[in-house]
Structure 1
Amino acid sequence: MDPEHKAVLRKHRLEVSGQLLVSDSIVPFLYQEDILTDAQVEDIESQRTDRQKSLKLLDLLPSRGPRAFSAFLRSLHDFGWIRDRLLLELQNPPGPQTTDVVRLPDSLLRKVPSDRELSRLASRLGAEWEAVLMDLGLSAEALFRCRADHSLSTHGAVLAGLVQWRRSEGKTATVCRLLESLRAADVHPSVLESVLM
């Protein structure tokens, strides 16, 4: 899948997953088009809620080859508004946004956040913390484990998820990537700015 297609799916991940019902026509179509395997269809269908099914599909799509994005768009015939939104985004890539520009220097955006910075961010994230961690690539299973291991402390669960993300992504677990996920979950960038400055 092209990088710009991956970026569009990641940017609209939460919005799309909240509006799609993938079981009815989308998953069968993608299976028919040889985009999804039997095991992947089972994996998607085993998720408990429609939103989790959609998120699982959006997790799998980027790795399903160059035809995956166009097949996904064709599968959206019952969800024309979503298809139009994704196509519009591709035609008009966003310029620099003036509404929530973060005044962080490039050197800071490229660095990997420390334990202390992640802890401070964990204490500032509200109900959106799960959406942020899913956008960072944590699986529903990993999120469940974070919640279960820290059932008495939301801060502990969020911090465990952030540390797990940093460990799995290594040098690509940058402040810039964190910022993208905060934006995707509608968390104002100033939250991260206050943690780092």
Structure 2
Amino acid sequence: MDPAHRAVLRRFRVKLSDQLLVTDTILPFLFQEGILTEAQVQQVESQPTDKQKNLKLLDLLPNRGPRAFSVFLDALRDYSWIREQLELELRNTSGGGSPDDFAAPSCCHGDRCQLPDSVLQKVPSDQELSRLASRLGAEWEEVLLDLGVSAEALYRCRSDHILSSQAAALAGLVLWRRSEGKKATLARLLQSLETADIHPSVLEDAVMR
């Protein structure tokens, strides 16, 4: 998701969490359009209150690829006043644009990663891992397990950073890089992100920023 779109969702987080009812039409539409997986829909629906369902959806959306924001706007057809506010805020902060402009960034077309092979063969830096950890959301454990980090090591990461899933994810990524050495490449990371059904643009955003 484009950084400007992330920022708009962040600024409207409280309003969105208070006013939406995502289970009626929004979740089915996002699933139909391939933005959310069935497991992610279940994650949202399993939350005990409507507000927590909304917040869980807002946690997931930024990591669902370059189409996530525009499809989310389309899903707000029963909440036209909210959609108009989001569009107005985006125009005010980005200097123009229409809903048709809310598409994939130029670095990413479709679902294929646009990072060149020369970049994918590199070992990620601390800064790149930190940016990636901030974007992983609830899928961070699935990614790390696919990377070969043990369940015991994941438990230690959670225990050591109980108040921050981002810090726990970063600790796990650093542990993976340390254990794998030169094999801990961005290409290997991309493979595990795809296994967890995370869009390649999440890695592109962390690396190309």
Tell me the TM-score normalized by structure 2: 0.47
